[in-house]
């Protein structure tokens, strides 16, 4: 039986167990605390039926409270939370001076892991000039005598003409291409130690990687990365699901799901457990509305650390390509469908609209430009960007093909011959 419970002050007197439990707030004045404890005792005794047995029990409780009062008052001055059990006199102290032991651990983890997380800045190259830029994150995974290696998402560096990293969100160091795997959305870049030293950067860490197969739903995790390109920040949550498949732009990834906030710029950053070990590389978040119930929040995704290690080790050691097979061909362009509205407004044919041509694409020399519309390959009609990809993948790297395009300024079709390239070749910077 629980008599005299008082949720406001977080204490109760349990007459059934003859037990007084009281959670003290920090730094209470001595006089108030003493009166408060005695008041609790009175409330507990008068709230139910009063018997002679209860009276003896109450006397025992009062005596024990008085014995513990001196220790309680001393703890109060030290800013601690003390749980008093008047039945067996057990005392448990939970430090509260700096937010609690769990919070202290979170702070220490973020401070330490942040030294292994970098902000990534990219500049795109389009038609021989630098275009827009992007931002992302990376995790320092390995170092040798001359280089420091950083894992990130492939989509962070895809199409970049230049990439730089920053450990302190201030000083930038030029990064170099190592390898990519588009189908797993993983890439590795490197910086030279000599450039890091010349820039005065020495306070960095090599991240520790955990066994992601041991993760459980409900386990606490922290996401650290360059959110929104504003510099490194951290969010906290739990593992919401494991071994989950998601499809992004036609690529299916097996991922971890977390409710720790994952935002643009977090891509390539670290998801760590409460030992400070990386359990995943953040890659995406679910955005949009669901089932007419408003915006969906708390659905972020990370590539499991075991998969990351498997891919990265191959890229760094050179024993595996860690990238698309050499036989997978690419044109080196980005694009979209020509919509009905576009076709009607500009009086252009349906096809694959070219929004960007990679500086490394053979089509640059051939003469293809942004704004062109690809309408055929080897005389096979192309009516959408998806059609274009299907036709391209019928060939192999090194194959020469003829691309037919419609150019609005020419008010007609042009033809270009080009040699298909590998993804790796097109993405070096």
Q: What is the CA radius of gyration of the chain?
A: 31
For residues 387 and 399, give the distance between their C-alpha atoms in angstroms, rounded to a whole number.
Answer: 18
Q: Could you give the CA distance from residue 44 to residue 14 in angstroms, rounded to a whole number? A: 7
* Distance in angstroms (rounded) separating the CA atoms of residues 30 and 69: 10
From residue 15, alpha-carbon distances to 1, 19, 54, 62, 412 in Å are 6, 6, 8, 13, 93
Both tokens of 36, joined, read 């408060």
CA-CA distance, 29 to 255, in Å (whole number)? 53
Element (H, E) at 264: none
DSSP string, 190-243: EEEHHHHHHTT-----PPPB--GGG--TT-EEEEEE-GGGS--EEEEEEEEEEE
DSSP class of residue 47 equals: S
Shortest CA distance to 323 belongs to which of 138, 151, 179, 149?
A: 179
- Residues labelled catalytic: 155, 185, 267
DSSP annotation of 161: E
Tokens of 21: 């439990």
User: How far apart (Å, rounded) are the C-alpha atoms in residues 172 and 158?
Assistant: 19
User: What SS3 state is found at 30?
Assistant: helix
Asked whether 302 and 368 are in contact (CB, 8 A), the reply is: no
Measure Cα distances from 223 to 28, 184, 312 in Å.
37, 20, 20
> Any bridge partners for residue 329, and if so which?
422
Nearest CA among 354, 413, 355, 351 for reference residue 383: 351
Taken in order 266, 358, 149, 184, the sign of the CA dihedral is: positive
Closest CA to 278 of 117, 149, 83: 117
Question: In Å, how far from its chain's centre is CA 231?
Answer: 14
Is the Cβ–Cβ distance between 384 and 352 less than 8 Å?
A: yes
**How many CA atoms within 13 Å lie on the side-chain side of 338?**
25
């Amino acid at each position: 039986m629980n008599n005299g419970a008082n949720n406001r002050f977080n204490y109760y007197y349990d007459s059934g167990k003859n037990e007084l439990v009281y959670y003290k707030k920090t730094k209470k004045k001595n006089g108030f605390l003493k009166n408060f404890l005695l008041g609790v005792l009175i409330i507990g005794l008068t709230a139910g039926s009063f018997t002679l047995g209860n009276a003896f029990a109450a006397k025992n409780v009062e005596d024990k409270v008085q014995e513990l009062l001196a220790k309680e008052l001393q703890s109060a001055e030290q800013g601690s939370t003390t749980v008093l059990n008047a039945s067996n006199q057990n005392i448990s102290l939970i430090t509260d001076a700096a937010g609690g032991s769990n919070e202290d651990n979170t702070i220490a983890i973020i401070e330490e892991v942040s030294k292994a997380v970098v902000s990534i800045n990219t500049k795109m190259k389009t038609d021989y000039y630098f275009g827009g830029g992007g931002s992302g994150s990376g995790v320092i995974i390995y170092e040798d005598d001359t280089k420091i290696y950083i894992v990130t998402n492939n989509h962070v560096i895809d199409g970049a003409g230049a990439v730089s990293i920053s450990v302190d969100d201030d000083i930038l160091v030029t990064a170099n291409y190592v390898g990519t795997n588009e189908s797993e959305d993983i890439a590795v870049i490197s910086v030279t130690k000599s450039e890091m030293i010349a820039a005065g950067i020495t306070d960095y860490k090599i991240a520790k990687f955990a066994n992601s197969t041991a993760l459980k739903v409900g386990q606490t995790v922290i996401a650290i990365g360059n959110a929104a390109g504003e510099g490194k920040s951290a969010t906290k949550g739990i593992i919401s699901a494991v071994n989950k498949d998601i499809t992004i732009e036609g690529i299916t990834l097996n991922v971890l799901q977390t409710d720790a906030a994952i935002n643009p710029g977090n891509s390539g950053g670290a998801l760590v457990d409460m030992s400070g070990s990386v359990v995943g590389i953040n890659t995406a978040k679910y955005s949009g509305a669901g089932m007419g119930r408003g915006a969906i929040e708390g659905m972020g995704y990370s590539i499991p650390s075991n998969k990351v290690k498997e891919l990265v080790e191959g890229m760094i050691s050179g024993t595996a390509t860690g990238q698309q097979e050499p036989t997978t061909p690419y044109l080196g362009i980005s694009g979209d469908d020509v919509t009905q509205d576009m076709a009607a407004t500009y009086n252009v044919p349906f096809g694959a609209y070219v929004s960007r041509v990679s500086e490394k694409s053979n089509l640059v020399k051939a003469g293809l430009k942004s704004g062109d519309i690809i309408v055929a390959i080897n005389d096979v009609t192309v009516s959408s960007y998806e059609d274009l990809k299907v036709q391209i993948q019928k060939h192999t790297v090194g194959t020469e093909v003829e691309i037919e395009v419609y150019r609005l300024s020419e008010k007609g079709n042009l033809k270009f011959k080009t040699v298909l390239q590998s993804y790796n070749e097109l993405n070096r910077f």
